[in-house]
Structure 1
Amino acid sequence: MTAIRRAFADLSVGQVHFATCGDAAAPAVLLLHQTPRSWLEYRDVLPLLAQRCRAIAMDTPGFGDSAPLRGPASIEGWAAVAVELLDVLAIDRAHVVGHHTGGVIALHLAAAHPTRVASLVLSSMPFTGEAFRRVRRDRPPIDAVEPSEDGSHLAALWQRRQGFYPPGRPDLLEAFVRDALKVSGDVEGGHRAVASYRMEDHIHRVTQPTLLIRASGDPFASPHVPELQAHLPQAHVAEIAGGMVPLPDQMPREFAQVVLDFVARI
């Protein structure tokens, strides 16, 4: 299996960590993770994509081993740093894949920098319009837990997510908790950035070929597919049955195959 190589790029925010796999001459695929994960969400996906592509998974600033943004977390700021990484890697255009928060970043990247994005794969991405923002304003924190001396806050973090993860896969919840504990500053910053993003102001500028991945077991994202299709008439939909919130590391083979099949048609 093709080896994964990890490195840091010196960008405007400081050092940004990324992992790459595959032939540097092959078509580039940039992978953007959900909140509060890291490149590890795609660890098992990278070698599968590397069979035909140059796959790059970056740690969003403030997550994993990347330095945070200089200022509040924002979709626009994260997309700008992703372009900087493409510049450093001498990648003129990439297929961009994003899961949950990563999908929102990917969409803004395509809207704001259209010449840099060959196609979009938006996995389990919400439509962050006014209705979404209104609901999120009234919703309690998703991942923030009050630290406790006996460590019970770690169990609380686990339990908040457990219902959205497949049974019998404690490894996926362990990966989530490890990444959540590494977030620089506020673990809710990524969720707030999504909740405040005015997607309706940008989505009409997205003209690239687009694939919407619908994970049937993800209650946060599946209901948004029809609304996204209404705004992205060029989009196709691929459903991954049984997929839940941790889709890329829950079902890496199915996820990678859907991406490869789509990219092959571009």
Structure 2
Amino acid sequence: MSTEHTITDQELAASLGDTFTSEFAEVNGVRLHYVSGGEGPPLVLLPGWPETWWEYRKLMPALAERHRVIAVDIRGMGASEKPESGFEKKTMARDIKELIHHLGYERAAVAGHGIGAMVAYACAANHPEVVEKVAILNTTHIDDSYYDFPMVPRPGDAPPHRWWLAFNQVRELPEQLLAGRSRHIIDYMFGISLVNPDAITDFDRRVYAQAYDAPGAIRACTGWFQTYQQDIADFASYPRVTVEMLGLAYGPFFAYMEKALTASGTNVRVAEIKGSRNYLVEEQPEAVLAAFADFFN
């Protein structure tokens, strides 16, 4: 990476159109980076790991025709601040609540994928007065079923074996192993989760590797995983979510998400995104846009 051009968020934002800008906000004691553009009701987009706000690049220009789109690097991600603490999803949900108010809105629609989906769910559960509607993309909020993931898969267990959940629980070692080498784990995660590997290009992967290569960035992203015990306890204390909720998932995960979201929400619909696995935003953007248009509009 040291011999390559550093890709800036300003350049990336400008590539999406003239209305998009890269900005920062101080909220809830943390400095968050976000890219926004368009006009209309606000729609906040929260990315997953190992991505950044750039995950939503294929959606943002179209969404901006009807919404003020705000794609956020969550606490510890990308150009956002990487504090030593505050990675509980309940705390990160407050980050988003305060960002919405900081931007001058009383309420906003929120969508999240991966870790961002957990934050989006926690925001709807804890701050329903702020969340107009919420979309949960291919990741339910962590619950106590995570304690049942095996350290060693049995013969015949369906992949993937989620070894990275345990790896990211370890303190200090991930940044020692991955500093300057995050492209390896980025390529691995996309490799096991993309039907079409070309959906996330070499350039896109460079953007993500640049965001995660520094030891501080690796330490921060492991913080999202190292709070899981508290996140599980917090989830158990939440009432059913009353905010209107959309779940999007691919084939094998669809039935589980439908069951889980229906049990935890009072007004839920779930749709299947075919031709994808985990990274459905980048692999099937047209299908996600259609689902968003039907739900948020």
- State the TM-score bracket (shorter-chain normalisation): 0.7 to 0.9
1:115 maps to what in 2? 129
Question: 2:108 maps to what in 1?
Answer: 94
Residue 142 of structure 2 aligns to which amino acid in structure 1? T
- Say which SS state the counterpart of residue 227 (structure 2) adopts: helix
Distance 1:9 1:223 in 2: 36
Decide whether aligned partners of structure 1 residues 178 and 13 sit closer, same or farther in structure 2, where only a CA change above 3 A counts. Answer: same
User: Structure 1 residues 136 and 52 mapped into 2: Cα distance closer, same or farther (>3 Å)?
Assistant: farther
Cα pair distance change 1:72/1:185, threshold 3 Å = same
Q: Does 1:20 align with 2:36?
A: yes
1:252, distance to aligned residue in structure 2 (A)? 2.0
In structure 2, which of residues 80, 86, 89 is the aligned counterpart of residue 66 of structure 1? Answer: 80
**Cα-to-partner distance string for 1:232-253 (whole Å, 9 max, x where unaligned):** 2410111110122222122222
CA distance in 1, matches of 2:220, 2:226: 10
> Matched residue of 2:194: which SS?
coil
Q: What corresponds to 1:6 in structure 2?
A: 22
- C-alpha distance in 1, partners of 2:23/2:147? 36
- Inter-partner Cα distance in structure 1 for 2:148 and 2:34: 34
1:163-182 correspondence to structure 2 within 5 Å: 163-169=192-198, 171=201, 173-181=205-213
**Aligned-residue CA RMSD (Å):** 2.8
Unaligned runs of 5+ in 1: none
- 1:158 maps onto 2:187 in alignment: yes
What CA distance in whole angstroms lies between the structure 2 residues aligned with 1:27 and 1:227? 29
Paired residue for 2:260? 227
Q: Sequence identity, in percent?
A: 22
> Per-residue CA shift, 1:205-228, capped at 9, x if unaligned?
4101111111237x5x76333122
Kindly provide the CA deviation profile for residues 106-145 of structure 1, in whole angstroms up to 9, marking residues without a partner as x. 1111111111011111111224221223428886335647
Report the Cα distance in structure 2 between the residues aligned to 1:53 and 1:255, rounded to whole angstroms: 15
1:25-40 aligned at under 5 Å gives the runs 26-40=40-54
Structure 2 unaligned segments of length 5 or more: list them.
1-16, 153-161, 169-173
Amino acid at match of 1:187: C
CA distance, structure 2, for counterparts of residue 112 and residue 253 of structure 1: 31
TM-score normalised over the length of structure 2: 0.76
Superposed counterparts of 1:211-222, under 5 Å: 211-216=246-251
> Distance between the aligned counterparts of 1:148 and 1:206, measured in 2?
38
Give the distance between the partners of 2:22 and 2:182, measured in 1 at CA.
31
Determine if the alignment matches structure 1 residue 210 to structure 2 residue 269: no
- Counterparts of 2:206 and 2:255 in 1: how far apart (Å)? 24
Q: Number of aligned pairs?
A: 258
Q: Tell me the residue number matched to 2:222.
A: 188
**Match of residue 45 from structure 1:** 59
Ranked by relative contact order (alpha carbons within 8 Å, sequence separation 6 or more), the top structure is 1
1:12-65 CA deviation, whole Å, 9 max, x = no partner? 434211011111xx1111111112321111122111111111111111011010
Give the residue type in structure 2 aligned to 1:180.
Y
Range that drifts further, 97-106 or 156-165 = 156-165
> Under a length normalisation based on structure 1, what TM-score does the superposition of the two structures give?
0.84
**Closer, same or farther in 2 for the Cα pair 1:196/1:165, shift >3 Å?**
farther
Equivalent position of 1:147 in the other structure: 177
Contact 1:45 1:256 in 2 (8 A): yes
- For residues 180 and 148 of structure 1, do their structure 2 counterparts lie closer, same or farther at Cα, with a shift above 3 Å needed? closer
CA distance in 2, matches of 1:77, 1:136: 28
Letter in 1 for 2:79: D
Conserved in 1, the CA contact under 8 Å of 2:194 and 2:277? yes
Shift of 1:254: 1.9
Q: Which amino acid aligns with 2:290?
A: Q
